[in-house]
Amino acid sequence: MAGRPNRSASLQTVPLHAVEPDPAAVSLDKVKAILAPLDRAQKSKLFELVQAGHLEDDQMTVEVGRLIVAMLNGPRTEHARRIWTGWFDPVMLRTDALMLAESRPPGCMHVVDASAWWFALLPHLRELAGRVQADIADRASENPLDAVLASPAAAEWAEELRIRSLEILHRRGAAGPLLATANAERITLLRKRGLAGVAPLSFGDLAMLDAMLDHAPLWKGAVRPRDTIGILHIVSEMAERGAATGGGADGAMHYALALLNGSRDPDQALALHGLSPNPALVEAAVGHVQFAWQCLRQKLEDLHLGRPAPPQLTAGETVDRLQERAFRWYDALQGFGVERGGRNWAAVSAAVGRVTGLVEGEVVPVLSHRLLTLNASSSARPLIDPVRFINGFNHRLRRRGIAASTNPWLTAIGEHLAGLFRQIGAYGREDALSAMAELCELAEETGYPIEVTAIDKTLLAIAERALRDGRELSAAESKLIERVVTVATEERRRCRWWVSGELVSLLDAAQQRGIGPTPQ
């Protein structure tokens, strides 16, 4: 009948019964949810148990095994690249600081460098890399990738990739194109890592790649030692093995340089030089001196001059720590035979000179301006540590015979701070003692201590009020009150027959707090 709904057609769109979920899929989802919180070691152990047949159902053994493998392997797919770069694992830098060195020490093979070299070599390794990729991917579909990469088959692939890479590097005319391609690829990798201003790879870096590939079997599988004794032991052992196989000590030295670039520790450098004096270690020491002083310079520019330093350069280290490392490397130079006026001294002198020139020519003037524009409503506290740092820095320079002014702070600064001290006392502020104590501390650091006298009744009253309040005093406040009590006591001793009431009241409050001598 016209206009009557077609019920048969509408019924055809409605399922007559619900679709039952696949029990196996549901079970695997439950297993995945249980496995998700486990760490990598726990998943690996569980995989071993599954492979050993601890699940009664053969089908579930296969499915759960594949699930664990997928969770362990994750999205990693560039297996050939991983096998090739594995040769550099024991010597590769993974922190970014030295990438920003204006003059990189020798032996720096960064993870970005290794990847760039791989992409430069890949067009020449295409067929071999494809076979490696396919074989590893096939094995990794049934086994954890870490186990596959540690297998004898992977070791054979790694060796073939190494030998073929050396053949490519030794081809006539290959160096220029390889270097250009590596640098082009490296720019992209550096950008992804957030690194800018990094010096390009050089022919020297290409020669280092050649040498490292040549010596890589010497350190294959080596674990980086944690202390200097362990470093000396493994480097000595490598040198002996290298000599026994006809490779000499070059491989051990490349490994030693890599460890040094990782630790940046001058004591370890001196120990390695004592074990095996080598021009490469001297060059490395000079490079690390330059870099340590570069880090200090750029940190000072960041702190005081508004020139931001790359965060990777200092990795959050304080300026005091950077200063300590810079002077430690400077002091270590004598142990490497680097003397003033010698062949390597010019580079060291230039690095130190840039920092001393920066401090004297820019940082001190900036801080001086801040000191001279300090007013009664602003805190002196933020200026104390920077002024103290400059004083300590100049003291270290003088101890080492490096020119530095005796006192870089103008006499006008002392006069200004003394005027502020009196001004704050006259304002009657509640925090007057704290503000005046900070000014005293700052004035002492600039070399112009503020005079405290017993005739300053305002100061006596401020000190007495703080003593009678009974509150806990800061170190700076305690020091100022002790100075006031000392001059008050001396005034009382000098004028036995008459002293002001304010002075007597202060000394009484001090006695109750156990400050100053007991009156006789």
Q: For CA atoms 423, 425, 429, 432, give the dihedral sign.
A: positive
pLDDT at 4: 44
Average pLDDT over every residue of 49-71: 57
Q: pLDDT digits over 341-379, tens only?
A: 888 999 999 999 999 999 999 999 999 999 999 998 899
Task: Decide if 128 contacts 165 (C-beta within 8 A).
Answer: no
pLDDT at 493: 81
Mean pLDDT rounded to a whole number for the chain: 86
> Residue 28: pLDDT band by 50, 70, 90 thresholds?
low
Higher pLDDT among residues 61 and 496, named by residue = 496
Helix (H, G, I), strand (E, B) or coil at 376: coil
Dihedral angle at the C-alpha atoms of 363, 314, 391, 393, nearest 10 degrees? -110
| Count of other CB atoms within 10 angstroms of residue 36 | 9
Closest by CA position to 412, among listed 375, 377, 446, 363: 446
Average pLDDT over every residue of 42-51: 59
> Residue 56: pLDDT band by 50, 70, 90 thresholds?
low
Average pLDDT over every residue of 84-101: 95
Average pLDDT over every residue of 261-284: 94
pLDDT at 19: 43
pLDDT at 341: 83
Q: At what angle do helices 475-494 and 457-469 cross, to 10 degrees?
A: 120
Region of poorest pLDDT, from 180-189, 242-251, 377-386 = 242-251
pLDDT at 68: 60
Task: Decide if 445 contacts 438 (C-beta within 8 A).
Answer: no
Average pLDDT over every residue of 316-337: 96
Alpha carbon 515 to its chain's center: 46
Higher pLDDT among residues 359 and 42, named by residue = 359
DSSP for 149-195 reads HTSHHHHHHHHHHHHHHHHHHTSTT-HHHHHHHHHHHHHHHHHHHT-
Integer Cα distance of 470 and 513 in angstroms: 8
pLDDT at 216: 95
For the chain, give every domain's residue range. 453-519
Q: How far is CA 294 from CA 323, 350, 356, in A?
A: 10, 10, 11
Average pLDDT over every residue of 432-436: 92
> Residue 35: pLDDT band by 50, 70, 90 thresholds?
low
Integer Cα distance of 339 and 286 in angstroms: 11
pLDDT at 514: 81
Average pLDDT over every residue of 419-445: 91
**Identity (one letter) of the amino acid at 164?**
R
> Residue 500: pLDDT band by 50, 70, 90 thresholds?
confident
pLDDT at 440: 95
Higher pLDDT among residues 55 and 136, named by residue = 136
pLDDT at 57: 55
Q: E strand or H helix at 453, and its extent?
A: none
Average pLDDT over every residue of 401-415: 89
> Residue 449: pLDDT band by 50, 70, 90 thresholds?
very high
Residue 50 above 90 pLDDT?
no
Task: Decide if 140 contacts 79 (C-beta within 8 A).
Answer: yes
Structure letter (DSSP) for residue 97: G
Higher pLDDT among residues 143 and 309, named by residue = 309
> Residue 58: pLDDT band by 50, 70, 90 thresholds?
low
* Both structure tokens of 263: 């630790």
> Residue 497: pLDDT band by 50, 70, 90 thresholds?
low
pLDDT at 308: 93
Integer Cα distance of 267 and 261 in angstroms: 13
